[in-house]
Structure 1
Amino acid sequence: MALFVSLTNAQAQPTKGIKGGNPNDWPSEVREKFIVLGDNASQKNYETALPALEWLLANHPQLHKNVYIKGIQVYHGLAKKATDKANKVKYQDKAMDLYDQRIKYFGNEAKVLAYKAYYAPYYWTGRRTEDLYKLYAKIVKLNGNKTDANVVSHYMGIAAAKKKANQLTEDEVLNLHEQLTKIAEANSGAKWDKAQQALNAHLASVITMNCDFVYKFYVPKYKADPENVKMIEQVLARMIQASKNAKEGEERCTKKPLFLELAEKLFKKKPTYGRAMNLVNAYRDDKQKSKGYLEKAIELADTDQKKADGYLQLAGMQRGMGAYGAARKNAYTAAKLNPSIAGKAYNMVAYMYMASGKSCNGTNPKNPCHAKAVYIAAYNMFQKAGNSGGMAKARQYFPTKEEVFTHSMSGKAVNVGCWIGETVTIVGQ
């Protein structure tokens, strides 16, 4: 207790003791204590280092920044080794206090508080939660977009707990979520994706995000600043979340005209592959618009996999419109860009061949071997796709052995004609 009082008194007298300077000019006792602290802290002899640390703090609080760096290390080490709960808590709090004293004498507040924030949740959660909340608030204010991802997610977690305890209002929680979301969006990487998920989960635990709420809280903010890209992104994100939360029978927020309006506006301002694909899905009942956005998505794709997915979806869309030739071309492009989806692409082509049986009759439609050559082409394409079921189905429509024999067509090459234009070798059932 005496040492603690001495430390407190020393901290209240910032002019006490030696302030920096050349260590060679320090009194021998001061140099000796400084060396004992440094050496023993480095060797994890924390009990041996403690008396030197507390003497330096009591008598020379402005001596050197390393007194605090090594001192914090000593207190953390003693806290970790302590088996008695009271001692563990005592050393934890002393370590945390030293971060503040280091700032008091040597500045660099933003950086030092970031160090403090690493240990704070382990030491203070459930014991000094309000202090932890205030620490996070200060760190976010000082560091802005450079705030650590863990601080962002933990801060929101405490806010959610305070909301449940009626210590924060709905608006306060939403405003904090908005502030922290901006920080998360200003960064990238897996840890920030995880932080964003945590932010949304904490918010969802205390506030029901439905369409009425979005229109009440977020839409007025958008209307006040309709060209703000971040605001548009935020409203869209909330509308999507509200749609996921919608109960059976409720109109989804993504079905509102405002959703499409915002999605198109955002795409015009900041076109990306993902945003184009969102509009493809949003306009699935308007084939021409959906197709137009899909073509833009392909242009914006930044990987072969995304391009391949886009081309395959475009092929499916064209197939539905009856544009088989264009669909085949895009299916082949998808297969070339991403071999892992080649099977799907070739299957699609094979089924288009099967669907063309009545219109693709070869160069001599009166000859049943010519008329049925399209199914041999379909069989070959199913085989390329690795679809044995499709192969068996196509084979059922092959020319019969009698037809092949009667027309002397066995082993002969026949061009399927029409849009397919492939040449196949005639075989019988």
Structure 2
Amino acid sequence: MKTRVYSLIAAFCLLGGAVGAQDFREDPRYGSDPASREQNVRILNFFNDAYKAKEYGQATVYLRQLIENAPKATQNLYIRGVEIYKSKALGAQSLQERKMYVDSILWFFDKRIEAFGNHPQRGEAYLRGEKAKAFLAMMPADRERLFQFFQEALHEKHPLNPGLAVTYFNSVVESYRLDDVTPEQVIDIYERLSQRLAGCESPERAEAMKAIDDLFASSGAANCETVEKIYRPKYEADPGNAKLIETILALLRRGNCSSDFYLTMLEKYYAANPRPDVAVQLASLFQEKQEFGKAMEYLRIAIDNETDPAQKTNFMLQGAGMALSSSSYREAAQFARQAIDNDPNNGLAYFILASAYAGGSGSACSGFDRQTAFWLVVDNLAQARRLLPADDPQQSTISQMIGNYSANFPKTEETFMRGLNPGDSYTVNCGWISGRTVVRER
């Protein structure tokens, strides 16, 4: 009798009982009555001995008896059961045999969820995630069941596990590359996971979002044509859906799209969110389409409504660069002068102003007046060289331009005929190009 009691106590302690050994006959976890509890604890002891000896055939017999008769005895039953059948699955000689063992692993997870689904740390959400990962390791080619298990684990009723979301989406992308899922499915899953992560408070959220974004970008599923094919009908059916428009824009941006559809979506978004940064995006898109009038319209709106001085200067410089690229030299100079007024130490603004004067001098005036315009060109280039960092890539261009335009200064006889001497103060009046400078000769 003593031997049996000691054996029962040993089994109970090995499994980490929460009550004293003398009380196991009163613990409902081990059965419905004292006799069955005593029997089940004895089987626990037998199971432990067989498990440690790696006599898995006998161990599984005890294991299934315990799960049937004392399913809440301890989570170790299920953990060791999964370990046993993982070992069997890895040694399987055929796919059919492997499937059989994997089904047993799934059974252990399901039974553990039934018994311990309400556990505060390792409850249903955790166990469904472990089940999905175990199936991924054992049967990655069975995509239908794999995705089912991940979807169950990531169901909205469970707190989101960011790492599990990344693992799932990685499997989705791999399946897409093997032509097992469609681009529509990849986009749909990406959209749903992104929305869940956006509302997740886990410290792993940002890292998971980046990983999923990177996977999505590299998948090739979200190309511009596919996004438009999927979402244009949805938009046309519900053109006032602001959330849908935001989703479409996010997908099109991810694909670096600049299509007419993207432009339409951005204009719709701007109508509801007239922010300066969105106006600048529209300006850039219309510039790409060479619709400079529309581009300038949006850019001026952005400048007028921007409150941050640094950002306002950037918008002015963008406008100056846009006008310069379309040979609108007078407009480029206007934007550049505004930028200088806003930030007198902006070297790039002086460089653009010099370029605008140089480009526009041929049409604004001619002869001696044009030559005097080059004094202003060089003045602004010199100021740009002084303000820009020494290692700025524009420095070499500026030095070359100063040399070129200095070579076009008036000759000595031309200044002499006009009663001008080097160093004299001079006001340039070359059409729209004007300013105070000093006389120089070549």
Please tell me whether residue 254 in structure 1 is matched to residue 225 in structure 2.
Answer: no
Name the CA distance, whole Å, in 1 between partners of 2:311 and 2:82.
49
Once the 2 structures are TM-superposed, how far is the Cα of residue 135 of structure 1 from its aligned partner? Answer: 0.9
Please tell me whether residue 135 in structure 1 is matched to residue 133 in structure 2.
Answer: no
Change (3 A) 1:409 1:358: farther
| Aligned partner (choices 44, 59, 63) of residue 73 of structure 2 | 63
| Aligned partner (choices 150, 154, 169) of residue 170 of structure 2 | 154
Identity of aligned residues (%): 20
Name the CA distance, whole Å, in 2 between partners of 1:110 and 1:333.
60
Please tell me whether residue 183 in structure 1 is matched to residue 193 in structure 2.
Answer: yes
For the pair shown, the structure with the greater C-alpha radius of gyration is 2
In structure 2, what residue type is equivalent to 1:204? A
Cα shift readout 1:264-292 (whole Å, capped 9, x = no counterpart): 22222345566434422343344343223
Where do 1:25-174 residues align within 5 Å?
25-26=23-24, 59=66, 60-65=70-75, 71=80, 98-107=108-117, 108-126=123-141, 128-142=142-156, 146=160, 148=162, 149-157=165-173, 160=176, 164=179, 174=184
Equivalent residue for 2:29?
none
In structure 2, what residue type is equivalent to 1:283? F
Residue aligned with 1:410, SS = coil
| Aligned partner (choices 327, 331, 334) of residue 326 of structure 1 | 334
Cα shift readout 1:339-361 (whole Å, capped 9, x = no counterpart): 9xx66443212112324547999
| Aligned partner (choices 258, 266, 272) of residue 263 of structure 1 | 266
Contact 1:353 1:378 in 2 (8 A): no
Equivalent residue for 1:22?
19
* Structure 1 residues not aligned, in runs of 5+: 1-17, 38-45, 245-252
Equivalent residue for 2:407?
396
Contact 2:106 2:131 in 1 (8 A): yes
In structure 2, what residue type is equivalent to 1:157? V
| Aligned partner (choices 310, 318, 326) of residue 313 of structure 1 | 318
In structure 2, what residue type is equivalent to 1:289? K
Equivalent residue for 1:5?
none
Change (3 A) 1:72 1:263: farther
Name the CA distance, whole Å, in 2 between partners of 1:202 and 1:379.
47
Name the CA distance, whole Å, in 2 between partners of 1:307 and 1:375.
25
In structure 1, what residue type is equivalent to 2:334? A
Please tell me whether residue 409 in structure 1 is matched to residue 421 in structure 2.
Answer: yes
Name the CA distance, whole Å, in 1 between partners of 2:337 and 2:84.
69
Contact 1:181 1:196 in 2 (8 A): no
Name the CA distance, whole Å, in 2 between partners of 1:26 and 1:56.
19
In structure 2, what residue type is equivalent to 1:228? N
Contact 2:347 2:385 in 1 (8 A): no
Equivalent residue for 2:212?
195
Equivalent residue for 1:294?
299
* Structure 2 residues not aligned, in runs of 5+: 1-14, 26-37, 118-122, 199-205, 389-394
Name the CA distance, whole Å, in 1 between partners of 2:409 and 2:210.
54
Equivalent residue for 2:243?
230
Change (3 A) 1:147 1:219: farther
Q: Cα RMSD between the aligned structures?
A: 5.4
Equivalent residue for 1:373?
375
Contact 1:291 1:314 in 2 (8 A): yes
Once the 2 structures are TM-superposed, how far is the Cα of residue 105 of structure 1 from its aligned partner? Answer: 0.9
Name the CA distance, whole Å, in 1 between partners of 2:177 and 2:322.
48
Once the 2 structures are TM-superposed, how far is the Cα of residue 243 of structure 1 from its aligned partner? Answer: 10
Residue aligned with 2:155, SS = helix
Name the CA distance, whole Å, in 2 between partners of 1:239 and 1:423.
49
Contact 1:232 1:262 in 2 (8 A): yes
Change (3 A) 1:368 1:259: closer
Residue aligned with 1:323, SS = helix
Name the CA distance, whole Å, in 1 between partners of 2:336 and 2:168.
49
Contact 1:71 1:98 in 2 (8 A): no
Cα shift readout 1:196-234 (whole Å, capped 9, x = no counterpart): 4544765739xx9748x946x543332332222233345
Once the 2 structures are TM-superposed, how far is the Cα of residue 156 of structure 1 from its aligned partner? Answer: 2.8
Contact 1:376 1:426 in 2 (8 A): no
Contact 1:375 1:394 in 2 (8 A): yes
Equivalent residue for 1:41?
none
Contact 1:415 1:422 in 2 (8 A): yes
Change (3 A) 1:227 1:390: same
Change (3 A) 1:95 1:400: farther
Contact 1:236 1:262 in 2 (8 A): yes
Once the 2 structures are TM-superposed, how far is the Cα of residue 382 of structure 1 from its aligned partner? Answer: 5.3
Residue aligned with 1:409, SS = coil
In structure 2, what residue type is equivalent to 1:326? Q
